[in-house]
Amino acid sequence: MEALFDAAPFTGYVFPNETVIPWSLMIVIYPYITGLVAGSFTVATFYHVFGVPRFRPVARFALLTSLSFMVFVPLPLLLHLGHPERAMNVMLTPHLTSAFAAFGFFATFYVVLVFLEIWFAFRENIVAWAQERKGLAGLFYRVLTLGSYEISATTRSYDAKWLKALAVIGIVGAHGLHGYVGFVFGSLKSREWWGSDLMPVIFLVSAITSGIAILITLYVLTSRVRKVPVDLDCLKGMAYMLWGFLIFTIVLEFLEFANMVYKGREGVETIMALVAGPLWFSLGVLQMGFAVIAFFIMSYFMWRSTQDRQLVIGVTVSALLMLVSVLAMRWNVVIGGQELSKTMQGLLYFHPPLLGREGLLVMVTVFALPFGLLWVLTRLLPPWVPKLDHVPSR
């Protein structure tokens, strides 16, 4: 008979029920994807709200990226649930004291908001495509126009106003959503590794870091595929953002750990054993090491004001390093927290299964799906087509 669960080996003393790790890979990938949503939306708002013109080449692409990932945020959760068919109960009968009760509402609200934002951002193009295209594609765009073909100074200012207003709400929404994911972990007093006041903030800044990183990577990649030069001004803007937020991330993560060690509460020896044991590679090398390397690469480039091809390569490498670093951070929080026993006198060792509903294969698939959707979306709504003489409203 196929085993229904994997039991984790342990050292020291752990509570007997703890040997089956409750939250595994799906809960690692869930905050990671949510983070990418928040981060890429942040870049978009820099253009739509703050009117920073250098972000124009990626502003609409960032919105599509944000939506592509957001659509798949619930998937790992559904895969994790014992009874996914009862998932709607969370919204039908939300238990309001639960940090998780509002997730469905938050997520739905945010998806609707990003949809609207995208619609306003692409409205003029949609109207143009509806008139140009024939057949099924034409019908698709005609439906998308919602019957309004008017483009004038009035509609333009109306669109811009909505775009800005929605983006302002979106900033709150995207950051609220992700800070909230951090709260899901940080609000638990049962786990020393999670129950930190800094947790939501760390989740948020690392999320923005990862979102900028994925956008840099995708922008450079798509530019190569489209055989157009990378807009260096735009890339530099994103690199500055990445640099800034990654400093925030490293400092906050360090502060949190320093706090834990300095306070030295009961069981701190076990925390040190966790860091030196099961987490040494994912925390020491992947999370912290990669972030520090990315920091030095970018700082060096800023100091030397590197340009052109070198800059593109350097920034992309740093972005890739940060993508791995933030994924490792999610692992270290979610898995690390459970590898530290609630007894504070033992450690568990989680080995991810390859197969199964919550295995590595499914995790990779879940992470690949948003890229597929993004590919489709960029076909339907090419974000690279210029929006005729549009200037962001101030």
Partner 1 sequence: MKLKRQAFDPDRRRLLRFLGRVVTYASAMIASLGVFGRRGLAGAGPAFPATDYDWTKHRWGFGVDATRCIGCLRCVEACKTENGVARDAHHFRTWVERYVYLKGEKLPRVDSQADPGNIAASGSEKEYRFDNRYKDAKVEKAFFVPKLCNQCEHPPCVQVCPVGATFRTPDGVVLIDHDYCIGCQYCVQACPYGVRLFNQKYEVTDKCTWCYHRITRGLKPACVEACPVNARIFGDQNDPESPISKFIRENRVQVLKPSMGTSPNVFYVGIDKEIV
Q: Write out the residues near partner 1 by the rule CB under 8 A.
A: 4-5, 7, 13-20, 22-23, 77, 80-90, 92-95, 97-101, 103, 154, 158, 161, 184, 188-191, 338, 341-345
Q: Which residues pair with 345 in a beta bridge?
A: 13
Q: Of 87 and 380, which CB lies nearer to partner 1 in the complex structure?
A: 87
Q: Of 317 and 344, which CB lies nearer to partner 1 in the complex structure?
A: 344
Q: What is d(CA 394, CA 391) in angstroms, rounded to the nearest whole number?
A: 9
205 close to 248: Cβ distance less than 8 angstroms: yes
What size, in residues, is the chain? Answer: 394
210 close to 37: Cβ distance less than 8 angstroms: no
**Minimum distance, C-beta of residue 344 to partner 1, in the bound complex (Å):** 7
Q: Of 84 and 352, which CB lies nearer to partner 1 in the complex structure?
A: 84
**Minimum distance, C-beta of residue 96 to partner 1, in the bound complex (Å):** 9
Q: Of 22 and 135, which CB lies nearer to partner 1 in the complex structure?
A: 22
- Token pair for residue 272? 């040190």
**Minimum distance, C-beta of residue 264 to partner 1, in the bound complex (Å):** 16
What burial class does residue 78 get, using C-beta atoms within 10 Å of its C-beta: 0-12 exposed, 13-18 middle, 19+ buried? exposed
Q: Of 11 and 217, which CB lies nearer to partner 1 in the complex structure?
A: 11
Q: Of 86 and 226, which CB lies nearer to partner 1 in the complex structure?
A: 86
Q: Of 89 and 310, which CB lies nearer to partner 1 in the complex structure?
A: 89
**Minimum distance, C-beta of residue 268 to partner 1, in the bound complex (Å):** 14
**Minimum distance, C-beta of residue 351 to partner 1, in the bound complex (Å):** 15
**Minimum distance, C-beta of residue 23 to partner 1, in the bound complex (Å):** 7
Q: Is the sign of the CA dihedral 296, 179, 210, 394 positive or negative?
A: negative
**Minimum distance, C-beta of residue 142 to partner 1, in the bound complex (Å):** 20
At residue 330, φ and ψ (nearest 5 deg) are -60, -40
Q: Which residues pair with 348 in a beta bridge?
A: 10
